[in-house]
Amino acid sequence: MGPDYLAAHPVLASLQGRDFLTLRDFSPEEIQALVDLACELKRLQKEGKPHRLLPGKTLAMLFYKSSTRTRISFEVGIYQLGGHAVVLNANELQLGRGETIEDTARVLSRFVDGLMIRTFAQRDVELLAEYADIPIINGLTDLYHPCQVLADLQTIYERFGALKGLKVTYIGDGNNMAHSLAIGCVKMGMETVICTPPDYKPLPEVIAYVERLAAETGGSIALQDDPLEAAAGAHVLYTDVWVSMGQEEEAARRRAAFAGFQINGETLARADRSAIVLHCLPAHRGEEITDEVMDGPQSAVFDEAENRLHAQKALMAALMR
């Protein structure tokens, strides 16, 4: 597979030069095309076949937050596509001494072919996209985590052969994962349930958008606070940590609030017999998920983690070629 493959694909060809800030900006057809490409790139890798879709391209990776899966998947991914990665820590750049994001975007646009950023504020990602002349990829913010959901959709598609009509239940904090998962799943026509304690619901503006979206795609969104009820009949059970980076001071209060919102054997028993379990990782075993479930036969957690590599490769190949 070479660069001509993408140019000949009408949907993928239209993604060249685009930013990936949130799944809100991508149509169901575009998301499905990226999932299909991720599956194809995974197949080629497993068969040992080259797929140098980005020969000579350079990706800059800018980190304000620590990372395992995001860094490794992008760094290995660009290498397998024939390119090169430059890892940047925000504290090591002039950003740490007061240079603006706007000026940093202008400078990096002269050096590299794409930029992935993992940071706190969504506004930082938006500023980079506004002032850069290269594709900007949101590797994670406090508001959204679209790269993870692209890999999640790939994992679900691999297991079920379709997305539309499946029921996905997320149990946990109404955080960036809940936001992006709701958007991505409803975009793809899925029945989506977000189950959180009453004080930890997703942002109202995100849910309002997803409700409008559901009317267009045939998907649905529901908010619940009973995990066992929410899990009933689900094809996918999904969870995330109760205490994210930057929330350490809230740890005790959060653990008390989320008691009972664990994915365990009882929760899984309420789901569809064919259900899979997903977790974006890292996991706090014994809190939001038990060892029994995470290491059990219905867990797709580590397939999902692997698919970060393939989904990221598809994304870079489509945007940066």
- 171: phi then psi, degrees, rounded to nearest 5: -120, 120
Told to judge if 280 belongs to the known catalytic residues of this protein, a careful annotator would answer yes
Q: Are 127 and 152 in contact (CB under 8 A)?
A: no
Tens digits of residue pLDDT in 48-76: 999 999 999 999 999 999 899 999 999 99
Query: What's the CA angle centered on 66, arms 65 and 69, to 5 degrees?
Result: 115
Is the pLDDT at 7 greater than 90? The verdict is no
Distance between CA atoms of residues 65 and 172, nearest Å: 21
- Transcribe 101-116 into DSSP letters: HHHHHHHHHHH-SEEE
Q: Computed from CA positions of residues 209, 125, 302, 312, in that sequence, does the dihedral angle turn out positive or negative? A: positive
Flag whether pLDDT at 245 surpasses 80.
no
The pLDDT of residue 66 is 86
d(CA 80, CA 47): 14
Find the catalytic residue in 32, 240, 310, 321: 240
Q: Which member of 118, 159, 254, 321 is catalytic?
A: 118
Please report which confidence band the pLDDT of residue 243 belongs to, taking 50, 70 and 90 as the band edges. confident
Residue 3: pLDDT band with limits 50, 70, 90: confident
Has 235 been annotated as catalytic?
no
Question: Does position 97 have pLDDT exceeding 90, yes or no?
Answer: no
Share of the chain above pLDDT 70, in %: 99
Among this protein's residues, is 308 annotated catalytic?
yes
User: For position 249, what pLDDT does the model report?
Assistant: 77
Region of 171 please: left (phi>0), alpha (psi -120 to 50) or beta.
beta
Task: Give the tokens for residue 284.
Answer: 């706090």
Per the prediction, the chain carries an average pLDDT of: 95
Q: Is 298 a catalytic residue?
A: no
| CB 139 within 8 Å of CB 61 | yes
- Tell me if residue 321 is catalytic: no
pLDDT of 44 reads 97
Task: Enumerate residues 6+ apart whose C-beta is below 8 A from 247.
Answer: 254
CA distances in angstroms from 177 to 56, 185, 310, listed in the order given: 33, 12, 19
Active site residue 43: no
SS3 148: helix
User: Looking at residue 284, what is its pLDDT?
Assistant: 96
- For 279, residues 6+ apart whose C-beta sits below 8 A from its C-beta are 238, 239, 240, 288, 289, 294, 301, 304
Q: Which of 237-246, 253-262, 275-284 has the lowest mean pLDDT?
A: 237-246
Query: How is residue 251 written in tokens?
Result: 């740890």
CA 236, 237, 239: angle at the middle one, nearest 5?
Answer: 135
- Report pLDDT digits (tens) over 76-89: 999 999 999 999 98
CB atoms within 10 A of CB 223: 17
Q: Which of 1-10, 103-112, 121-130, 206-215 has the lowest mean pLDDT?
A: 1-10
Selected catalytic residue, list 32, 80, 148, 312: 148
pLDDT of residue 248: 76
The pTM for the full model equals: 0.96
Q: Cα–Cα distance between 29 and 16 in angstroms, integer?
A: 15
Q: In which residue are the tokens 């795609």 written? A: 217
Q: What does CATH list as the number for 3-144+308-320?
A: 3.40.50.1370
More confident: 252 or 20: 20
Q: Which CATH superfamily is domain 148-304 in?
A: Aspartate/ornithine carbamoyltransferase (3.40.50.1370)
Instruction: Report yes or no: 220 and 164 within 8 Å, Cβ to Cβ.
Output: no
Please identify which of the residues 280, 310, 312, 321 carries the catalytic annotation: 280
Q: By the 8 A CB rule, do 279 and 304 touch? A: yes
Q: Which of 179, 279, 308, 321 is catalytic?
A: 308
- Checking if the pLDDT of 211 tops 90, the result is yes
If you average pLDDT over residues 300-315, what whole number do you get?
A: 98
Q: Are 152 and 188 in contact (CB under 8 A)?
A: no
Q: Which of 145, 159, 279, 321 is catalytic?
A: 145
**What are the residue ranges spanned by the domains of the chain?**
3-144+308-320, 148-304
Q: pLDDT tens digits for 166-193? A: 999 999 999 999 999 999 999 999 999 9
Same fold, 3-144+308-320 and 148-304: yes
